[in-house]
Amino acid sequence: KDQEEIRHFAAELAVTNRRLQQVALTDPLTGFPNRRYAVDRMQQEWASSTRTWRPMCCMVIDIDQFKAVNDTYGHDVGDQVLSQGATAIKRSLRAQDVISRTGGDEFLVICPDTTMEAALVCAERIRRSVEIMSINVGDQVLRVTISVGVAVRDRTMSDPDVLIKRADESAYVAKAQGRNRVAALQIADASISQLASVAGERG
């Protein structure tokens, strides 16, 4: 009987530990994995890419003017923007893509086995999915846009942090060029590749 109780207790403890680990690695608002998970997963995908030399991309997604949304409409509406935006983003991802919420208004998407061209197509699909989203705030309809930076792993990159930094710099370029667009900064040839968008001029 004692052995049975011990086994039962051990099984319950294992379930509890798994739940605690899941909570520790999950953003409660969006249900996405958090930064801690993103760092671990990026290391895993980087190692896999190193072994196989398959292409690997990542995206940094920033919600445009999110601070202004919070300041104007309040944090409840800001949370609604994050939640609905996260749903729109997830709907546009492919099966192999891994998304995490890494900051207040920032998301990281890891794209294993993905070329720059494929990542740009996916990023533009995400941008459009968010752009057509509408959020009702009283008698107003709030429109939200995102800026997306895309980066592909190349042989000059020493670790995954460099890849993330490149994507972050690309997101900055997208915002600097007017927001609501996708950009990819290619350091190797010092050129900026931008996937233009119909509504890209709107800030």
Residue 19: the pLDDT is 57
Q: Once rounded to an integer, what is the mean pLDDT over residues 64-79?
A: 96
pLDDT band at 10 (very low <50, low <70, confident <90, very high): low
- Of 200 and 11, more confident: 11
- Tell me the C-alpha distance between 111 and 148, whole Å: 14
Which tokens sit at 19? 């739940």
Residue 6: the pLDDT is 73
- Tell me the C-alpha distance between 184 and 176, whole Å: 13
Distance, C-alpha 123 to centroid of its chain: 10
Inter-residue contact 133 to 144 (CB < 8 Å): yes
- Answer yes or no: is pLDDT of 142 > 70: yes
Inter-residue contact 105 to 62 (CB < 8 Å): yes
What domains are defined for the chain? 29-195 (3.30.70.270)
Residue 34: the pLDDT is 92
Residue 1: the pLDDT is 64
pTM of model > 0.85: no
Residue 22: the pLDDT is 56
Q: How many CB atoms lie within 10 A of CB 82?
A: 22
Residue-wise pLDDT tens digits, 32-66: 999 999 999 999 999 999 999 899 999 999 999 99
Residue-wise pLDDT tens digits, 101-120: 999 999 999 999 999 999 99
Residue 166: the pLDDT is 96
Distance between first and last Cα of the chain = 68
Residue-wise pLDDT tens digits, 154-196: 989 999 999 999 999 999 999 999 999 999 987 544 334 444 4
Residue 24: the pLDDT is 65
Tell me the percentage of the chain whose pLDDT exceeds 90.
Answer: 74
